[in-house]
Amino acid sequence: QVQLVESGGGSVQAGGSLRLSCAASGYTATDSCMGWFRQAPGKERDWVAHIYTSHGSTHYADSVKGRFTISQDNAKNTLYLHMNSLKPEDTAMYYCAADRSGYCGGDYWRSYKYWGQGTQVTVSS
């Protein structure tokens, strides 16, 4: 059974940094993607970034490009999202997602099969 557990969220002031972690257990998919999405109250779930687990290629939403970095530690089965220069508009619940073997949902959240419970990020001005 696949389980994704996010951690690292919190409250920071604008310009600050946070590192989100997603610990994956039971996840053995190959040639697939893992990603980060976020959802603010009353808004759609938005793609933030994803990474191809086999070769490490990364992709970012324009709104976070240059500020956020997605990475993976295969030895620890952990996905990270390093967030710098945070803005109030980054405030949201952040979710980790993982796709099935042979699939990569990319920026389309409905494609991802596995999800964490989310971790809240709040950025104050």
Residues 100 and 10: their CA atoms lie apart, in Å, by 30
The per-residue pLDDT for range 86-122, each reduced to its tens digit, is: 999 999 999 999 999 989 999 999 999 999 999 999 9
Q: What confidence category does residue 62 fall into, taking pLDDT thresholds of 50, 70 and 90?
A: very high
Q: What is the pLDDT, as a whole number, of residue 30? A: 86
Helix (H, G, I), strand (E, B) or coil at 2: coil
Query: Is the CB of residue 34 less than 8 Å from the CB of residue 79?
Result: yes
- The answer to whether 73 and 86 have CB atoms below 8 angstroms apart is no
Strand-pairing partners, residue 95, are 37
Q: What is the pLDDT of residues 8-37, one digit of tens each?
A: 999 999 999 999 999 999 998 888 999 999
